Amino acid sequence: MVTSILNEIISQEQHWTEATPPSAYDLTLLWPRISIVMPSYNQAEFIRESIQSVLNQNYPNLEFIIIDGGSTDGTVNIIKEYECQLAYWISEPDNGQSHALNKGFNKATGNIMGWLNSDDLYTKYAFLNTINTFKRFPGLSVVFADYYFINKESRYIEYKHAFNFKVNQLYYEGWFLNVQSMFWTAEAHKRFGHFDINLHRNMDYDFVIRMGLNEGYNRFYRLNDIALGCFRLHENQKTRGMNDITIREQYLISSKINKLSKFTMIGKILRYVFRLRRLFWYIKRKGFLTVVNLIRKKISL
């Protein structure tokens, strides 16, 4: 069963380039406004496809905001091609991605919020699936789902399974969801506040942890076997792997929430405990043989 689902996913690996048909939305209904903020800097190679993945949702109440940090590679010319479909855009030097996100969300007036980097993508029906979930469960703060890893050419690399939200899993062990496949309410964003401009690589990690602490795990909802977004892997992305900057920023995040146990022996033990939980989740969602093959593949790299 799981194998057949994965084979179907791979056979349709580029469905994120397809548009959601406008007929998918009943225009006799009131659709809540979705605000999408896209921070950008020198992403001319990818930003057109990222913009199109937003506009191709054909969502009837979209507020699309692009904050560019003064690109010099042709990005601005691409943005200008779409400016009539944007609620707001600007290109000027800033203090990094966190600053750009704050500028964008300060402009946002939507009921539901999303953040898409200018090299990542939304999948077909992403907005429709998200809004239908918020309508079905009105007490939710966050909706998230699975996501794809794609390469520089927008080709499929791997289908990444999210699993039920736990702050400690994220804190001690690492990512199991992706902000490009996550949407949240305006009220939750107000409680979150602002992105820390001292963070240049881990602002998403800080964002999700603080959202989790504010909202509680029972207000996060995971869509099952649906991918809402694509995270692009390429040689120029700034968030690949662990380095001194990443470690320093994670220490800063831990200090802010008064939780430095991650960097102690207990934290190291808990990391392996939560890693086992991740393994069980992967077996549950992917199947034992698929997980064994993935482990073999990683060992062989």
Query: What tens digit of pLDDT does each residue of 110-161 get?
Result: 999 999 999 999 999 999 999 999 999 999 999 999 999 999 999 999 899 9
Segments of the chain scoring below 50 in pLDDT: 1-12
Question: Would you mind telling me the total number of residues written for the chain in this entry?
Answer: 301
- Which residues are CB-neighbours of 28 under 8 A, at least 6 positions away? none
- Which residues are CB-neighbours of 56 under 8 A, at least 6 positions away? 17, 18, 19, 20, 122, 124
Is the separation of the CB atoms in 160 and 147 below 8 Å? yes
Q: What pLDDT shows up at residue 278?
A: 86
Q: What is the 3-state secondary structure (H, E, C) of 214-273?
A: HHCHHHEEEEEEEEEEEEECCCCCCCCCCCHHHHHHHHHHHHHCCCCHHHCHHHHHHHHH
Q: How far is CA 218 from CA 125, 126, 203, in A?
A: 25, 22, 23
Q: What pLDDT shows up at residue 292?
A: 81
Q: What is the 3-state secondary structure (H, E, C) of 20-53?
A: CCHHHCCCCCCCCCEEEEEEECCCCCCHHHHHHH
Q: What pLDDT shows up at residue 284?
A: 84
How far apart (Å, rounded) are the C-alpha atoms in residues 251 and 247?
Answer: 6
How far apart (Å, rounded) are the C-alpha atoms in residues 247 and 254?
Answer: 11
